[in-house]
Every structure is written in C-alpha cells, then in structure tokens.
Chains A and B, each alone.
Chain A
Amino acid sequence: MHKPLAALAVLAIALAHPAPAQDLAAFEKKVSVKTLANGLTVLVCERPEAPVFSFFTHVDVGGDREVPGITGLAHMFEHMAFKGTDRIGTKDYAKEKAALEAVESAYAAYDVERRRSVGRDDGKVAELEKAWKDRIAEADAHVVQNEFGEIVEREGGVGLNAFTNSDETGYFFSFPANRLELWAYLESERYLKPVMREFYKERDVVHEERRMRTESQPIGRLIEQFLAAAFTAHPYGQPVVGWPSDLTTFSASDAAEFHAKYYVPSNMTVAVVGDVKAALVHPLVETYFGRLPKAPKPPPLRTVEPPQKAEREVVIHDAAQPFYVEGYHRPGFDHPDDAVYDVIQDLMSSGRTSRLYRSLVRDKKIAAAAAGFGGFPGVKYPGLFAFFGVPTPGHTPEEIQAAIRAEIERVKTEDVSDAELETVKTRTRANLIRRLDSNQGLAVQLGTYQARSGDWRELFRDVAEIQAVTKADVRRVANEAFVDQNRTVAMIQSTQMAKAPGSGGTR
C-alpha cells in the first residue's frame, strides 16, 4: 500500500502548481465507488459529453496464478468469456450441457492415453481421439455461433475486446447510453454462467495467436526467452499466452475450475464512465452483478522471486535483424520507490530530449529507437526495469549495450540537472491531463487503480509523488538496481546483418 500521509503531503505540493481544471478535486465530484454485499467493487464516473458510455471489468488474475501445466489458462478463459452463457449462444442448453460433459469425458480418456509414456497403444489413441472429436461435433450442433458478440455489436456496441497480461484480465466495450441495463445483464451474465462451448476449437485459435505473436516474430521469440531467463521462481517468467505443451493439453474442465477460483466478486472491479447517472448505475449493478455468488478473495501469491545472484544472458542467432534488451529486477508498484522508477523511465525514454534518444539515436546514430521502461512484464509484483535499442543498419547489439550502459552510468554517477528533472515533472503533469480525455481510457485507468491500490485517487497521487522525487532519489535507486548481478541480457545476433547503406560497412 502507498503511504497515505506522504502522498497527501506531495499532493499539496503538486497542487501548488498552476491547477489544471481536471484535478483530483474535480473528479471527486464525478466519481462514486460502492462495494456490493458479495464483495464486487463498482466505480462510476459521470461524464455526460455524449449519449454513450464505456466500461472496464478488471479481474485480479492474470498469468500470475498459473503453474506448470496450465500456463496460458487465464488468457484462455478470457477467450471463453466471449462464448456466451446458458441462455446466449445455445439452441438448447439442456442438451448442450450433456453433450459438453460427454466431450470432457472423451477428452480425459484420450488425453490420458496419448500422453502415456510407457505402453501407449497408438490404435487406441486414434480411436479415443475420434470419439472425442465426434462428441465435439455433437456438442457443436447446439451452438449459436458468437451470439454474445452478435448481441453486443447489433445493439451498437463498439470496441468489444479484452486483454490478459501477467497481472490481470480486463474486459471492455462501449455502448449507447440507452443500453445500460442490457450492458449490466450481458457483462454480469458472462461471469455468472459462462459455458465452455467450442473450447477445443478456441484452444486452436489461441495457439494461432501464439504462433502469430511469439513464434513467428523475432522479437516475440526473444522476449519469451528473456523473461524465462530473468525469472527463476516467479510466474513472470512464464509466457501469458502459454507454453505449446499446455496449450495442447489443458481442458475445458481446467478452465471452469480456474474461473470458479478467481472470477469471484471480491476479485473483480467494474468501472463505468460516460453519460450515466451514478444513482441509476449502482442499483442496476446491484441487481445484475449482485447475482454473482459471494466467495473469499484468493489468498496472495506465495512465490517471491529470490534475489538474482549472477548476470544472465540469452543470445538468439537468427536471420532477423539484431535487437538488444537488458533488464534489472525492481520492486513492484506498491514500493515507495515506484515514483523514482517512473522518473528514471521518463528521463531515459520520453521524447527527443530523453537521454537514450539523444545518445543512441541522435548523436551516435546507432539506434532507430531506444528506451527504458519499468514494470515489465507486470507491476503487481517485483518485475524488471528494461532497456532496449533497435540497431540501425550496420550496427550491433554490443554497440547498443555499450551506449545504454554509458547512459545508465551517467544516472548513477551524475546528478540529473534541475532543468531535466523539472521537465520530467511538468511532462508528467501534462500527460496526466491528456490521459483523461476518453470514456474508455478513463474506465480502464480508474478501474485499474481502484482494483490495484484500493483507491482510484492513486491515479492522481502517483503523479503527485513524482513531483516529490529528488536528484538524490534518482541516483540512489539507479545505484541500487542497475548493477551487474541484477541484470539479464537478451539479444538477437543477426546471421544476415544489413550493411550500413552509404558507407559500405560500419564506420
């Protein structure tokens, strides 16, 4: 948790700056938060700009709760949340339910046999596989394809989508303002009565997503290896999309079990922003989301990444062009130094005045882009602060590494200038305002802060805390984090490196 007193003190400092019209006080008047009896948190922000609204459902589970064998399951369930309910997406649910149970039994039998390492009977595997596929065909006969998405889109919904990352799962879309009750129905129903229909086809779809984002992209391949090397114990080392073995093995029953454990109201936050009245939204949410059965919030994750003892390095030799990234372990979002990392990120990476741009892109011309970013792959737990550079033709990962290290060294040994620090702080304040200009953006941000920190006001306090960061903080944190044994390096060494055009080679 944040330190409330310190936060208030710095908030006072921040407010001494020319006060933007959209500050915390302005939002206090528009935002209301309620917790239902079943533990679900609801946030409403009234923004009557146009007769539309957006929402964001935050579920406090991501790849973080996956263990070997079920990696990718949080993301898989996210896909299943679009497959409908016992009343949406089915021609006859009673029959479909029985058919789906038959699919599960058939799959269990097939899965046991095909993965038998000793005495596997291939004939029997084929037979069981056919039986399983036949059951799937029977179950599919009851399906009304994509009816959930069809209702949303037909009723004027836009931006229907969702995401899963290492920390959390989020669902969102926008509706015309007169569909508020329909929204409350649809959004609660998909978590109340999800049906694992077409699960195994969707598992193939997710596997295609893995092939597209990870396997068939050089940087996707590298990042997977980078994280696997950087984390030895914590689930941050696992790919959110899942390992191929798990993606071809886990079952609809596994997904249903995962849902039952983590999709409990005490683990969920819903934010609604737009042309709505809190006085109308809260009772509607009570009526519809109040149906979710009460259950305790899952206990916190046990595993903590142990301190790194030695530098690690991953090198992929690939026909693709070179790429460089290095990461250092850093604490999670709830650590008092979080704001200092934000300042370092901004200083190193924001815009053309940033140090990495000026050194690597502008002056040395060895990179087309270079930046450092905190909170990778997540912020809920201690993660990485990472730096990357995209070499220009003829330049190598080693040159990027040397140049990044020189800039890191500068932050460790020289105070950042007053002007630079002031620019970072001003920019952070201006960018906060820019983040408040859309219903969907606000719903995601307010919802995420409410869920993560227990208070949406942290969105503003985070910026206030950045105002209080000193030069000494920056140096101290850089010296603590950016040390050799805390580092993991990953790079693509190109087997077909592009020559520098115009010079016939490197200068």
Chain B
Amino acid sequence: MTRRATWGVLAVAALVAPALASGQAKDWREIQKPPLAAFTPQQPKRIVLPNGLVIFLQEDHELPLVRGTARIRGGSREEPAAKVGLVGVYGQVWRTGGTKRLTGDQLDDDLEARGARVETGGGLDSTFASWDCLKESFDLVFATWVDLVRNPEFREDKIAVAKNQINTGIARRNDDASQIAGREARRLGYGKDSPYARVAEYASVAAVTRDDLVAWHTASVHPNNLILGVVGDFDSKAMEAALRKALVSWPRGPAAPRLAAAVGEAQPGVYFVPKDDVTQSQIRMVHAGIRRDSPDYFALEVMNEILGGGFSSRLVSSIRSKKGLAYSVGGGVGAAFDHPGLFQLSMGTKSGSTAAAIDALYEEVDNLVRAPATADELARAKDAILNSFVFNFDTKQEVMAERMLYEFYGYPLDFLERYRAGIEKVTTDDVARVARAHVHKDKLALLVVGKAPDFDRPLAGFGPVATLDIAIPEGAPAAQAASGSTPEGRALLAKVAEAMGGRAKLQSVRSVRQKASMRMKTPQGDMSIDAESLLVFPDKQRQQLRTPMGEMTNVVSPEASFVSMPMGTRDMPASQKENALKELRTNPIALAQRADDAAVSVRAAGSEKIGEVEARILELSVEGSDVRWFVDATNGRILRTTSHTMGPAGPAEQTLDYSDWRMVDGVAFAFKRTIKRNGEDAGAIELSEVTINPDVDPKLFEKPR
C-alpha cells in the first residue's frame, strides 16, 4: 500500500509538470488524469466492554473538538399504535427534561456557556444521545452526557413543550403539497397503518405520558443495546480509560425488543388529494422496494444511477431538460438496511401539465424494461459511482459513522468494499434483469396532489380515481385528557377530596384567608416573616409579608400581577407570574375542587415510603402544570407534594411536607408545612388562623396607581 501511495504521488507530479511548463489550456478530452494516490483511511478503534457496550474511537486532531454519539436500538416503528409520537416526545424530552440532578434549563445554561451541545433524538429504528464540545470542556460535558443517559428525569413541563411542537407539526402538515405527497405516498407504499408510514395524531400524542417515556428509557437504554462512537482531538488510550471508568460499571440490561414491523401491501391505483392553493401538482408513483442485503442491490444501484442519479440521468434529461416539465424530478428503487425500501418516482409540474407529466413518468417506467441500459449508460453510471467512491471515506468522522452503521445493522464491516466490488461486476444484462424483477408498472400507486380544475386532462384517464381524505382528526379534548388518567388515580383523588371535606363542601369554597408565620432560608441565614394570604379560586392570590426588611405585598392574577413595597409598585416579571399562576392551579383545594374535571389528568404512579407510611403517588397534570402528591391511602391525607418550580436561585424541585391537619368549617388544612428545594431545607410555614369565604374587596387585586 505504502509503495503504491508513493508511486501515485510521483505520478501526479510527473503528469502535471508538463502542463505547467507549457501553460497551454487543453481540451477536456486531452487532459490527463493521473491515478488517484492510494489512500488508506484511518480506521476507528473498536472496543467492547464487558457489559456489552460497543465503542468506536476515531482520533482526528484537525480541530480542538470532541464529538460523541450513542445510537440505541429501538425507535418509532416499535411504539404502540395508540401512542404514535411517543419516540418523538421521548427524543426531545430526554434532553429538555434534564437529569435527576439538573433541570433541562440548567443543562442549557451550563452547556451554552461552554459553547457545548448535548442532544438527544428519536428516529424510525433507534434513538440517539450525542455531545459536541471543545476539547477543553470534555470532562464536564461528558459527565453531563453520562448523567443524562443514566439518570434522565423527563420533567412534565418539557413534555408539554414537546407535545406542543409535535402538535404544531400535525396542524401544519397539510399546508405544503410536497409534504402531503411524501407522507401519503409512504402510506400507499407501505400500507397506512404500517409502522413505516403511520403518522402522529393529536390523540396519539396526547396519550403519551411521562410513564411511557420512563418505560421506554428503562427498556432500551442499556450498554448492551447501544453503540458509542467518539471522534476528535484526543488520545485513544486516555479516552478509552475515561470511557471505561465512566461506563464499565453500568449494568447490562435485557436485550431490546427487536420487532419485525409489518410492511403492508402496496395499494395500486390512482389517488388524488385536492389542494386548491397551489399552481404546481406534486406527483408520486410508488410500490415496494428491497433490502440492502438483497443480491440485486448492486445492480439496482446502477439502475438507479441511470434512472435518476444526477444531471445526466434519464429522468432529468428527459423530463426536466428536454421537456421542461419539472424543476424537481427523481426516483429509484429504495433499499433500507433491515426492511424493504420503496420504489418511488417523484416530480412537481405546473397544474396545466399534470397529465402530460404522468405520461412522461410512465414512459420512463416502461423504458426501464423496454429499453434497458445501453453499454454507454452502464459505463457512465458505474464511473459516477466508482470515481466518486473516495467521498465515502474522505473524513475520519465518515469512516467511523460507516462502521457504526454496519455494526448497528449487523452487516459485514467491510460492506463498503463489497459494494465497490459488487458495482464493478454489474453488466447491462444485470440491470435489465433487476429492472424487470423490481419495477412493476401495474403495481404502482399513482398519487397526485393538486388543483384538479387546472389539469390538462382529468386523472380519470389513468384509472378510477380514489380521493384521499387527509383531514386532520380533531383532538377530542375531553377524551384525550381522560385518557391520560388511570381509574386508580381517579379513585385516589376522590378519596383525597373526601378527606379534605368532601366534594360538595370544597365546591362551596370560593376564597380562603390564611395567617401564618414563616421561616425562610436565605443566603444570609433564616428570616422570620409574618404572612397573610388571600386566595380567591381559581386564579387569584394576594400575599402580605411582614419581613425584617419591611412590608411587601404581592398579587397574582391573570389580569394584574405586581409587587408593592414601600418604595413603590412594579409588575412581576412574566416568568414569575407564570410560575405563580402555575402553583395556584396545583393548590390542593383547587385541584380537589376539579376532581371530576376531564382537563385534570390523574395517574397512580406507584408508591414510596414516607416515614412509616407507604405513600401512594398521584401524578396530577392540569393545563401545563404538574404536581405529584404522596398520599396516605388509609385516610386520604396528603403527606407530601413535589413539583418543579422557579425558586429564588432558579429552577428547582420543590418538596412540601404536610402535617398537623385540622378541620376549619368542614375543610381540612395542614397547619404545618416544611419546604425543601432540590432536597435542601428552604423554610417552613405554620398557620395560625384560617377563614373560609371571607369578604373580598376586589380592589385588593388592582394595581395601585
């Protein structure tokens, strides 16, 4: 190899030198192409830990960066049909929901301040967790990555953000004709309920719960189910040691369930989606394709190159250049690693040439069989593939990514070399044979998205037309929220409401005044505060605080939220107001009042020991606010609540312990409460007086002038 490389370099010099000397421009046919210098790409180091974790290490010292990616088996094709969208939510919230130690927002702050990234995501057959950082911050960023992989928290507030984004995608999925065509073509090719074609709906996204995300993580993220690749500016020995130290103790888990997701039958016929706000029709033709390990794969690759690969392919030359019918046209037989791809042709053409374009596409399909590749076409296609072969491994990152891919799908690690050899052997007969075997005009589903009144000829000329209904199913809000609840959760909430005074009594509570003495932990030490709070359900609160530093009043309501001090009044920052309104929604009385409300989702989520009591855990979620209650099931008393909140020092996990329950006018109140933030003491509250339904002067909630 080395000797050949030297020879190659010499050859370059020898052949180029005369051109320099003469300085004469030549015609392209006369220009010499010296053999490409032999090039042996640097292979990554492969390591297998005792727990089954496969690691690839690829040193690349060009830039002071270290990047790593773990690919984990299991993806959206494995999610339940009723929860399509689960892996989408999971892939996002895995990162945004933070770790047990740090919220996602804290991770954002920490990483961004270092110009680093840690990201997660979900795909069809796998999920991933990656990092990308400067070499100097590797230790810290890698530790964050490990924490996220081992201890994710999937906080509810970020589940809401993720669902919001996915729902936005659903709402917008019929805005763009190409997107409609791509989606519906997959459904026609694979069958609409196939895991390779189905799409998330409002209801299936709403059905995804935090438990689902935790369960997904628990089932899939194990060292023996994951391939980790690291590339960048490091010493492999040192990196290996660091990775071993951090990951070797990670216990092996059950193998990921590997499913053979069903691929449905293609549905031949003529399909139409009306779209009136376009000037261009989107056309697709589709039927089943092949797997990459098919013996016909190499010949089909050559056929694809002839049909739709690049500027000189048949589709581009005929439909774009010669006929001027399209800007975008392409196609070929798709080949996936572990399931059949799709044979697909696609193009966009003005409404007035829709039928002419379909004729032209059908003609190309016929031609594949009727006028198979000429020797010249074959040579062109093979040259294009083989002469550009070096671009498959022209970066170290790519070489590693390729190896990871073969490892993941269980392909031979030298598959790329086999590919080259396979392409070299393909003949015109091979291309003709695979075209006949894998392209079937009669099995094609023809799909058109466009404005029918402007078509040059009606689609009916191509066969009976089925109009596809692409209307987006309504979210069915009540049913949705209820589906997030469990009967067990509902029953326990009813029990809590009973213990707090009963549903009827609670409904009659319009407002509550509480006087209390508070102890608050501050950086300067404990502070004593006399407090009086006035709560008007559902969403108003006024607190008067007498502190050693003076009096302070804060008011929260959807209309006005402000803080008054002797120096004057100022509006509460929006984030603080949001947070306060959120806390009001999860006030125990407010939630117990809404025990039957479908918008309140309630789930029983196991149990945990608090003191001597095995407390049952209730997860409640209402309008984007989430709280967990730890309930003594024997008497329905709330022992503890936990929620994510905005503390004085930023986002925090807040724990309130309740005790000393007393009845006031038939309603139960915990007279003693202790507060912890992120597990540390943050203060305590002791009630001295509670009044139910006091007179409330509405002026109290107006901002003073």
Contacts and interface: CB of A to CB of B under 8 A. Distances in A.
A20 B112 CA distance: 18
Contacts of A218: 175-176, 277
Interface string A162-183: 0000000000001011111110
A160 B387 CA distance: 14
Interface stretch (A202-210, A296-304, A329-337, A375-383): A202-210
Contacts of A423: 109, 112-113
Contacts of B393: 50
Interface string B166-183: 011111100111100000
Interface stretch (B19-27, B50-58, B255-263, B401-409): B19-27
Interface stretch (B314-322, B418-426, B459-467): B314-322
B475 A419 contact: no
A156 B388 CA distance: 4
Given A186-B28, A392-B167, A502-B206, A146 B316 contact: yes
A202 B472 CA distance: 38
Given A182-B28, A280-B16, A365-B161, A501 B23 contact: no
Nearest to B276: A319
A291 interface: yes
B63 A437 contact: yes
B280 A146 contact: no
Interface residues of A, number: 104
A353 B117 CA distance: 12
A179 B310 CA distance: 19
B533 interface: no
A286 interface: yes
B254 interface: no
B161 A150 contact: no
B39 A50 contact: yes
Given A146-B317, A216-B280, A154 B383 contact: yes
Contacts of A390: 168, 172
Contacts of B280: 208, 211-212, 215-216
Contacts of A154: 312, 380, 383-384, 387
Contacts of B475: 499, 501-502
Given A287-B23, A499-B475, A155 B327 contact: no
Contact of A182 (B33, B170, B477): B33
Most buried by B among A156, A188, A423, A431: A156
A60 B277 CA distance: 36
Interface in B365-380: 380
Interface in B550-585: 574-575, 578
A305 interface: no
Given A51-B390, A150-B311, A352-B96, A392 B165 contact: yes
A223 to B, nearest CB: 14
B115 interface: yes
A177 B37 contact: yes
B339 to A, nearest CB: 27
Contact of A291 (B16, B25, B104, B327): B25
Contacts of B665: none
A198 interface: yes
Nearest to B280: A211
A181 B165 contact: no
A104 B539 CA distance: 75
B136 A18 contact: yes
Contacts of A201: 321-324
A499 B474 contact: yes
Contacts of A146: 311-312, 316-317, 321
Contacts of A437: 62-63, 65, 395
Given A22-B64, A146-B317, A503-B623, A205 B324 contact: yes
Contacts of A427: 112, 115
B233 interface: yes
A149 B310 contact: yes
Nearest to B203: A501
Contacts of B109: 353, 423
Given A145-B312, A185-B25, A50 B394 contact: yes
A393 B387 contact: no
A433 B310 contact: no
12 contacts: A21-B233, A22-B63, A49-B396, A182-B33, A186-B28, A207-B350, A211-B279, A364-B574, A390-B172, A433-B65, A436-B63, A502-B206
A502 B311 contact: no
Given A50-B390, A392-B165, 10 more contacts: A145-B317, A146-B316, A177-B12, A181-B32, A216-B176, A217-B176, A320-B172, A429-B115, A503-B623, A507-B623
A323 B586 CA distance: 33
A67 to B, nearest CB: 25
Given A154-B387, A182-B33, A287 B575 contact: no
Contact of A501 (B167, B311, B388): B167
B143 interface: no
Interface string A395-414: 00000000000100000000
A422 interface: yes
B83 to A, nearest CB: 15
Give the size range of B's interface with the partner.
35 or more
Given A149-B312, A174-B391, A215-B279, A502 B16 contact: no
A123 interface: no
Contacts of B115: 426-427, 429-431
Nearest to A354: B112
B364 interface: no
Contacts of A18: 136
A200 B323 CA distance: 10
Most buried by B among A22, A208, A433: A208
A197 B638 CA distance: 81
- A-B residue pairs, 4 tightest by C-beta: A149-B311, A430-B115, A156-B387, A501-B475
B624 interface: yes
Most buried by B among A51, A155, A287: A51
Contact of B324 (A152, A202, A217, A426): A202
A82 B365 CA distance: 26
B160 interface: yes
Most buried by B among A21, A155, A362, A434: A362
B164 A205 contact: no
A498 B383 contact: no
Most buried by B among A155, A174, A283, A430: A430
Nearest to A320: B175
B262 to A, nearest CB: 28
Nearest to B165: A368
A284 interface: yes
Interface in B1-60: 12, 16, 19-20, 23-28, 31-37, 39, 41
B28 A153 contact: no
A460 interface: no
A207 B350 CA distance: 9
A158 interface: yes
B175 A155 contact: no
Nearest to B384: A153
Contact of A288 (B12, B25, B62): B25
A151 interface: yes
A504 interface: yes
Contact of B380 (A150, A198, A283, A321): A150
A486 B317 CA distance: 48
A76 interface: no
Interface in A314-359: 318-321, 350-353, 359
Given A51-B36, A153-B310, A501 B277 contact: no
A371 interface: no
Contacts of A479: none
Contacts of B322: 140, 145, 198, 201
Contacts of B28: 87-88, 151, 182, 185-186, 189
Nearest to A359: B574
B649 to A, nearest CB: 14
A185 B33 CA distance: 13
B436 interface: no
